[in-house]
Chains A and B, each alone.
Chain A
């Protein structure tokens, strides 16, 4: 199963006009957020967080509830968006580049803007809840949408033709062809998204700047409060609960679902190592589930009959009515969109022009500092994960027990641990810098490690024997076999890892802790500080700069490396 870990195939899309349009859309959108934020209340009081362990189930429930709401939103979004992009050529031309940019944007950079704008619109508690859900949603939806879109566009032609020849209506097609075909990918990405969502949930639950305390009752705020008060016992309780919740959901929900989805893979041969789940096997052998599934199939039969009656099969050949009107509607929508974007961009530019040169200088320096931090985190990650990952990947015995351990450790969202890092390191010289680096590292390294393990495990035994037979030295062996074979995996891992590191900078570079404000230079710090000061032009400028920087790095550095890796070094 490891061979599918952390790999979302990205299409090779060169930088194009539509990317620029997407960026403009985002500028307009950010402007709207900032504009709304002007009316945000000046003081936002946070909830009281109680540290008694008996409150933990309640907090856990609140956190999981937010996750579930965001996930459902993501799922619905992914299904609709993917459908629209896959079946409407015009929509595809806008939707796919949009998605492509959205997934490389550091989501957390939107957190302050989103919080401010929503708290201007809604009562404070609701605004924070909504923000956390939207934030998690924005971290979850893109890869799921990509996966669903990709499934829809790669359904084998003959299966699609069969569904027409046998006169499936839209519902039957969705149910017997599209959903089953897309399910393994969708589920796998759901699992990834869910795991990633914790990172953002913890950040959203604990966000406070200046007079604005946007905390939400949940596990994240519990941990932060515990660290804030230096209550080590509560920290242990909190981390323990968090890990338990994550593991339980993984074992009782996601793994069984993935094991079940194995039957929907298109491959016509049985897999060597199919995904398994003890809980799924248990359920499958229980009589209760048999009855439940029988009930479901009866229900399905009725539903199908009803749907078929409601929407009988319509042949493609029948000319659809109202095509002309739809075209005008589409045109009108497009013009409206362009106007709105143009207005937003103009106003945004107006606002940006009020930012003095000196502040732009600060922003430039901030971006540079944060970039250096991200690079350092990646370098450290690569230095330790490659040898360790190879050792684990090439040794099945080692990996059989180390892998689960690593997965549990990796499942703890870095943002939850951040207050703990600060508590531990604040006393040291350069303590916060160290804590920030540590946060970036925890947010980044696991992606690379798991990818390296997966990559090492795919090196063919024959090639390893060959290097031994040729009597290559250890260094030669690494140079000619291991490193090239790992390259695509390392690149895929590093792309995700750098995304994680950028996000970490937002929550880490500026933190209020134990009554003090701790800051290190960086773009995240500037964004947070602008929020505190209510300096909206600066907030817009800094957020925008970060988004553009990351998108450009993605396009011009990672995309090229990824392409090279896929074309040259993929073992197939």
Chain B
């Protein structure tokens, strides 16, 4: 059974150092991709799925653990793997043909062999007639076709795709997915296995044979789902929707009693519940939508379809609603709470008040308010807070969390922020201790 795995990760971890703190981008991952398999790494942004992809291709060396390719330890960049990038990564100064050719040129394939091969590939992905066009003349979908053609030109055994459809518009993405699946399932490309990174649940279920579901802080594998449906898959079929629902259930989790749900403060024992990266306007939009059918459980996958947003954003929004006590989640269903109902019906000012009382219950916000109260004038430089947060988080993530706290705090009128001096300021409403 050992020899059947194309790629094998054994307890792989990637550690980032910041000062003398260590942060896991991914922790203790064990994973196999078998010959003939299409595997999708699925999870929220920041769960390290792209890092994992880079480790598998050899672009990044894991801090701990082993990477095996066909049973052999991987040294340097895997010559049998290639990547299709999210942003296409085309050289803007090369034509379509030039972009595909350059991959072969670097492998020292002489012009008389590579030119016909390249033209054939361009034809196969449906870009015939655009050989001499520059990437900037093409639409997003066509650019990614060039990306595919270039990746296939080197005839990789392992095709890695880093969210290949997320920079495309909905319709282009849809048609490109179908075309790729056609090439793959009908064996028109010499690829032995595909590994795709995605945060879009439907896309993953539509394409992959197996979903490896990940979560963040630290990045880890939480579950695996096998999709045993024949291609081409019918998105409206009962089995398809059942799997989608199941995956939503795994990713959205279940609302816990408040003390567990809200987590602990920085420095305290237990897990800190970080703020999800959402805009407040989007959250209000979601709540208002749910309020159209109050007190009714709503399937998350249906909600994504109705709102026309991808699963990643929806999950973050639901996460935020859950933290604030506006919704509860169970088994892939979301239900508006009475508080959520009140909030979505309230006036602009009343909403702010409800929001303020709710965020004051969040340990993270409480921690920040407490720090500000300790100062003589209720002001703290941004950097001080960032440094305090960096004890728990990687620097970029700490900055993001601080930004979110400031934005939420400003909306709830608990905080103000001075952009010139980069100072966070306590507002009068933030001074009062929470009841």
Q: Which residues of A contact B (CB under 8 A)?
A: 156, 158-159, 161-162, 164-169, 172, 176-177, 180, 263-270, 301, 304-305, 308-309, 313-318, 564, 567-568
Contact = CB atoms under 8 A, between A and B. Distances in A.
Contact of A161 (B79, B83, B110): B83
Interface string B72-105: 0011110101110111110111100000001101
Closest 4 pairs (CB-CB, A-B): A315-B76, A317-B76, A158-B89, A162-B89
A interface SS class: helix
Contact of A158 (B75, B77, B85, B134): B85
B61 interface: yes
Interface stretch (B51-59, B294-302, B315-323): B51-59
Given A161-B85, A167-B107, A567-B420, A176 B58 contact: no
A317 B75 contact: yes
A264 B92 CA distance: 7
A38 B219 CA distance: 67
A308 B106 contact: yes
Contacts of A315: 58, 75-77
Contacts of A305: 108, 110
Given A317-B77, A318-B76, A167 B106 contact: yes
A180 B93 contact: yes
A268 B135 contact: yes
A540 B93 CA distance: 50
B284 interface: no
B154 interface: yes
B92 A317 contact: no
Contacts of B83: 161-162, 165
Nearest to B160: A165
Contacts of B61: 317
B85 A263 contact: no
A164 B108 CA distance: 15
A169 B77 CA distance: 13
A176 B81 contact: no
Contacts of B79: 167
A156 B77 contact: no
Contacts of A318: 75-76
Nearest to A268: B136
Interface of B: 54, 57-59, 61, 74-77, 79, 81-83, 85-89, 91-94, 102-103, 105-108, 110-111, 134-136, 150, 154, 419-420
Nearest to A269: B136
A268 to B, nearest CB: 5
A264 B87 CA distance: 17
B87 A316 contact: no
Contact of A172 (B86, B94, B105): B105
A177 B91 contact: yes
Contacts of B76: 314-318
Contact of B89 (A156, A167, A264, A564): A156
Given A161-B83, A162-B83, A315-B76, A169 B93 contact: no
A540 B107 CA distance: 57
A169 B106 CA distance: 7
Contact of B92 (A169, A265, A308): A265
A301 B111 contact: yes
A161 B59 contact: yes
A177 B86 CA distance: 18
Contact of B102 (A156, A166, A270): A166
Contacts of B102: 166, 168, 172, 176
Nearest to B104: A166
Contacts of A267: 92, 136
Nearest to B78: A165
Contact of B57 (A165, A304, A308, A309): A165
27 contacts: A156-B89, A161-B59, A161-B85, A161-B89, A162-B83, A165-B77, A165-B81, A166-B106, A169-B106, A180-B91, A263-B93, A263-B134, A264-B92, A264-B93, A265-B92, A266-B92, A301-B111, A305-B110, A309-B108, A313-B106, A314-B76, A315-B58, A316-B76, A317-B58, A317-B76, A317-B77, A318-B75
A288 B91 CA distance: 28
B106 A172 contact: yes
Nearest to A568: B420
Contacts of A269: 136
A164 B111 CA distance: 21
Best-surrounded residue of B74, B93, B107, B108 (most CB of chain A within 10 A)? B93
A268 B105 CA distance: 24
Nearest to B107: A167
Contacts of A309: 108
A165 B135 CA distance: 20
A270 B89 contact: no
A308 B103 CA distance: 13
Contacts of B110: 305
Contact of A156 (B87, B103, B111, B419): B87
Contacts of B77: 164-165, 167, 315-317
Given A176-B102, A268-B135, A268-B136, A166 B91 contact: no
Contacts of A264: 92-93
B239 to A, nearest CB: 36
Contact of A268 (B58, B81, B92, B419): B92
B86 A158 contact: yes
Best-surrounded residue of A156, A159, A180, A305 (most CB of chain B within 10 A)? A159
Given A169-B106, A567-B420, A159 B91 contact: yes
A570 to B, nearest CB: 13
Contacts of A317: 58, 61, 74-77
Nearest to A179: B93
A233 B402 CA distance: 70
Contacts of A161: 54, 59, 83, 85, 89
B86 A308 contact: no
Contacts of B86: 158
A309 B87 CA distance: 31
A472 B34 CA distance: 71
Contacts of A314: 76
Contacts of A177: 91
B154 A166 contact: yes
Nearest to B61: A317
A164 B59 contact: yes
A279 B58 CA distance: 47
A315 B59 CA distance: 9
Given A158-B85, A316-B77, A166 B103 contact: yes
A315 B102 CA distance: 18
A301 to B, nearest CB: 7
Nearest to B138: A268
Contacts of B154: 166
A165 B75 contact: no
A290 to B, nearest CB: 14
Nearest to B88: A158
Given A156-B87, A158-B85, A316-B76, A308 B108 contact: yes
Best-surrounded residue of B76, B81, B94, B150 (most CB of chain A within 10 A)? B76
B34 to A, nearest CB: 22
A304 to B, nearest CB: 6
A162 B106 contact: no
A267 B92 CA distance: 8
Contacts of B420: 564, 567-568
